[in-house]
Structure formats: C-alpha cells, structure tokens
A = this chain, B = another copy of it.
Amino acid sequence: MVVDKNPQKEDRVFHALADPTRRDILARALHREHSVSALARCYPMSFAAVQKHVAVLERAGLVTKRRRGREQLVHSNIETIRIARRALDRLETLWRTRLEQFGELLAEDDQGETP
C-alpha cells in the first residue's frame, strides 16, 4: 500500500501544527538545533509541558532528536512539512478541477454568470 498509512500521518502532522507553541518550536528548530531545555526557557510553561509538545512534533515526524552529552538536540524534518504541503496541494487541485468543470459549463452554455 502506498496511500494507506498516510492519512494517519497527515492527521498527526496537521494536529501537531494546530498549536502556536508547537509551530514556534518547529520554527526555531528549522532555524537551528535547540536542546529541549533551551526551548523550554522560551515559553511560559513547565519543562514537562514543552517536552510533551516536542513529543507531539516528534510523533508527527516533524522533528527528531539526537543526543549530545546530557542534552537532546531537537532538529526539524523539512520532508514532513512537505507532506502537509502536498495534502494542501491535492485540495487545491480539486478546486482547480472544479473551476475547469465550471469553465466547460460556461463554454457549453455560453451564457452563465453568477454575480
């Protein structure tokens, strides 16, 4: 199967993106690597809360962690962002398809207008 496990993945990706703290973490991680505690210092919440947000991003595949001594460095996975992008692209394609069909109708009828 090539399309079967993607829906769940898209669920996780969009869900991970649906929180401003997580989008901000992701943005920082896209810019450069950060340890979890360094990230935690950026937000008005506990370390554990930020840790959970990172875990959500990680389960979605948006970030991964690598150890450096006692810290975990969070870095982002651009490829997963493109999964979301492709999902949006598919939706926009449907939109264009509809426009084309609408265009065909106009061509056939040669009169329609809906102001």
Contacts and interface: CB of A to CB of B under 8 A. Distances in A.
Interface stretch (A15-23, A38-46, A47-55): A15-23
Looking at chain A's contact residues, is the secondary structure mostly helix, strand, loop, or mixed?
helix
Interface in A74-93: 76, 78, 81, 84-85, 87-88, 90-92
A35 to B, nearest CB: 16
A100 to B, nearest CB: 11
A12 B14 CA distance: 10
A106 interface: no
A55 to B, nearest CB: 16
A59 interface: no
A31 interface: yes
